[in-house]
Structures are given as structure tokens and as C-alpha cells.
Amino acid sequence: MAKSFEELAAAHPCFAVGAKVNKGRVHLPVSPGCNILCRFCDRKINDVDVRPGVAATIITPEEAVEVVRKAVELCPDITVAGVAGPGDTLATPYALETFRLIKKEFPNIIKCMSTNGLLLPEYQQDIIDVGIDSLTVTVNAVDPAIQAQICEGITYKGKRYEGLEAAEILIRNQLNGIKAVSDAGVTVKVNTVLIPEINADHVETVAKTVSEAGAKIYNIIPLIPQHELNWCSAPDCRLLSEVRGRAEQYINVFRHCQRCRADAAGIPGGEDFSKLIYIRPVVQENTFSHG
């Protein structure tokens, strides 16, 4: 049975609303591919960038279990094993297989997974069965016209979709999946990338909509201007605070996101010891395709 929101708030660093908890997490970079084309996403394999979508290497599910062993030995305060990329966790089978293996050896560790939500309806029962405690879904808009400005297209059931059609499919699947998973007792956190020129006035609507679908906590992430949205500005503290305040009318808002790498390990904001636990040599620079 998935852990409750109250249990997560006490032991998961991303669920401590208002203040950090002195707990750690280990991110397992087992998911290489993605099925949507976000205009701000620049996924890379390197040991340089400190942001989502980046890892020093990709590991197998079996290697991920060994990483967890090493991580909890190095940092007993680690309470969470998560998969947050560097690609989408449901675009390939490796994340769910990783959690199946972790569940056997570490039954008490919090299992946390992030996804863009495109394949949530297809895999919602697998997520429930494998014992995911917290699921993060990135929802950047619930208006297809706005979503189409953020995401160029999707690959869904073997077909490429673009523009409004892609946005409508993605939003529908995200909201239906959030409802199904949350109804089953899995705590859902929603991430939204705040893009001042595109969705700043829309985030309040996203917060209300995902809360109605069953999400329990909301994380508004400032845009890192890059890739096709390098012309956009990074939101300043004033705008970020205003948008968080509007969203907080509808849902608990998480305020201390560290924008972690997909292979982060340790207590957020503290020492990261990922270099001590990963098996393969670091690759300095290589860019993923979005395939």
C-alpha cells in the first residue's frame, strides 16, 4: 500500500511544505528516451550541468539496485529512491523494472517516480502494482493553445502529433492519469515550469485543475532559458512568489525545489555524492536526441 501524504511529508524532501526536512534521496538515471518535445528541454549526458534532464551516465535496473545499496550506506538519511529521467520514465520499461527490483530488497524505502504523463493511462495500474508512493507529473498547461507553445509535439502509439492535436492528447492523458492514480491512493505531485512569456498568467488555472484531478502538492519550477525557449526570461523572485501565492489558493505549494539532476544523491541543498556511487565512468558531454 502506498504511503500517505502525511508519511511523505515527514520523510520525503519534496513533500515538506514550508520547510525542508533533513532527509535524502537518490535519483536513478535509468530512463534514456522521451516521447514529447518540450521546447525548453535540453537533455544531456555530462558531469557539468546542475539541472533536470542531465546525468553522468545511464544505468540498468540491476545497477540501480546496487546504487541504492551504496547510497544508503553512505547516507543513512536517504529515505527516497526516485527515477526522474533523464528521459521520461514511461517511455521505456526500465523505471518500472527498477522499482520492482527495489521493492524486493528495500520494501520500506519511498519509491518516487516522475513522468510527463503522456502514457499514464496506459501504465497507471503498473504504477499502482509496483508500489510507487509518490508520482510527479509535469503539467505545464491545461489549455492546448498554451501547451502547444511549450511542447512542439509528441510520439504516441507509434505516431507523431504536433501543435494543438498533440497538446490535447497530452493534457487529456495527464489529467485522466492523475485522477486514476490518486484515486488508488498514490500521492501525486505536479510540476509546472514557469515561463514568464507563455504561462505565467495560466499557472493558477493549472493548479486548480490538477488539484481537482487529485494532486496533493504543487511545485512551480523557474524556467532555465535554453534550447528553443532561450529567448524567454527566467522568472524573478517577485513573479515566482506571486504565482506561488495564487496557486496556493487551491493546492499545497512546495517552495524549496533544488532543480536536481537525474542522478542526484544526498540531502537536497547539501553535499551531493553521486560521483561516489555510480558505476560507469563519467562522460563529459553528449546530447540526447528527443526520440
What is the residue-wise DSSP string for 105-155? Answer: H-TTSEEEEEE-STTHHHHHHHHHHHT-SEEEEE---SSHHHHHHHEEEEE
287 pLDDT higher than 60: no
CA 12/CA 135 separation, integer angstroms: 12
Share of the chain above pLDDT 90, in %: 64
Which of the 8 DSSP states describes residue 251?
S
Highest mean pLDDT among 26-35, 68-77, 161-170: 161-170
Q: Give the pairing of strands 44-45 and 54-55.
A: parallel
Q: What is the average per-residue pLDDT within 77-106?
A: 93
Q: CA-to-CA distance for 199 and 237, rounded, in angstroms?
A: 16
Q: How many H-runs (helices) and E-runs (strands) does the chain carry?
A: 8, 13
Choose between 74 and 220: higher pLDDT.
220
Q: Are 242 and 194 in contact (CB under 8 A)?
A: no
- What is the pLDDT confidence band of residue 278, given thresholds at 50, 70 and 90? confident
pLDDT band at 288 (very low <50, low <70, confident <90, very high): very low
Mean pLDDT, rounded, of the chain: 87
Question: What is the model's pTM?
Answer: 0.87
pLDDT at residue 283 in the model: 44
Quick one: average pLDDT of 80-98?
A: 93
Q: Band of the pLDDT at 84, cuts 50, 70, 90?
A: confident
